[in-house]
Amino acid sequence: STRAITTSRIDLTWNAINGATYQVDRESSLAGGFVQIAMPMTNSFSDTGLQPTTAAYIYRVRAVNGAGTSPNSSPRLSTTVVYTDNALAAGILIKAMHLAELRSAVNAARALAVLGAAGFTDAAAPGTIVKAVHIAELRTALDDALSKLSFSTGGYTNGALNGVVIKAVHFQELRDRME
């Protein structure tokens, strides 16, 4: 898993393999490919010194032990957006700040995919009422980036949002695809 701790630090954790060290790769440019950035002895790593702005990265990990090197893990997309109320659950009031953070994260993923910033309906100003159109726009903009970055798309809760009350799950599943 990955999680932005600050706007310039992403922490990674993964399942441990007995007796293994690890190789961590990061892709920070679609054209640049993966570059090995660390060889931690434990199943976690803090990637520090990242761009102190909203940026997106793709990570993968492999284990190394006496038997050799494992295949790469599935790649994981992460952004440097630090989310307010990390882990939105039932009962959390969705705020304009949550919408603004998701828009920043989606546009970071789009930048990594060499796509322009997405345009969104309404500003995410305090007092903005979150509507189905906001979630639909985020999904479309993110799926465009995910597709270009070779990640799976779709599969959202309430795929068609017509008449659906927006819930924390709609926000959390978008966050989960970029964290």
Is the per-residue pLDDT at 164 higher than 90? no
Q: Which two structure tokens, joined as six digits, stand for 1?
A: 């898993």
What per-residue confidence (pLDDT) applies to 102?
Answer: 96
In the beta sheet, which residues pair with residue 12? 2, 45
Domains of the chain listed by start with CATH number? 2-79 (2.60.40.10), 96-176 (no CATH)
pLDDT tens-digit series, residues 20-73? 999 999 999 888 899 999 999 999 999 999 987 789 999 999 999 999 999 999
The string of pLDDT tens digits covering residues 90-111 is 777 888 899 999 999 999 999 9
Strand-pairing partners, residue 48, are 9
Q: In this predicted structure, what is the pLDDT of residue 51?
A: 86
